[in-house]
Amino acid sequence: MRKGSVEYAQALDAMVGVLRDRARRGAETVEYGLLSAELERLGHHVPPHEGPMPHLLEDASAEGSPDGSLPLLSALVVLKESGAPSKGFFRLARRAPYHRSGDDTELWVNELKELARNYAGG
């Protein structure tokens, strides 16, 4: 699956849908493997820790907040081992246009709170 392809765009739409549903349910997190399985169920082969997954997560966040003013959907995706996002999430959150601050835990907790608030009732 190549970024910019129809297949990629369809997988991105599916991922955004899954993550927005979780945001509406109070910012319910999902492990990489479970997200991969959900995307597979929807017809998109996205391995949990390789290939297009990191690009799709970054693009899902950008689609949800192109100017950086809204919370990042990728905050919902966590590692099975730690229950927290990968280092890639924190790198994304700290760069332009997002510029999130605080230590990793503070940044992540704030992002989850904002996701829950922004998607409540939707």
- pLDDT tens figures, 63-111: 878 899 999 999 999 999 999 999 999 999 999 999 999 999 999 999 9
Rounded to whole angstroms, the Cα distance separating 39 from 91 reads: 24
H or E segment to which residue 31 belongs:
strand 30-31
Residue at 121: amino acid letter:
G
Is this model's pTM higher than 0.85 or not?
yes
**Cα-based distances in Å from 49 to 27, 36, 88, 106, 121:** 22, 9, 11, 24, 32
- pLDDT tens-digit readout, 4-45: 899 999 999 999 999 999 999 999 999 999 999 999 999 999
| Other beta carbons within 10 Å of 65 | 17
The structural domains of the chain, with segments of one domain joined by +, span 6-119
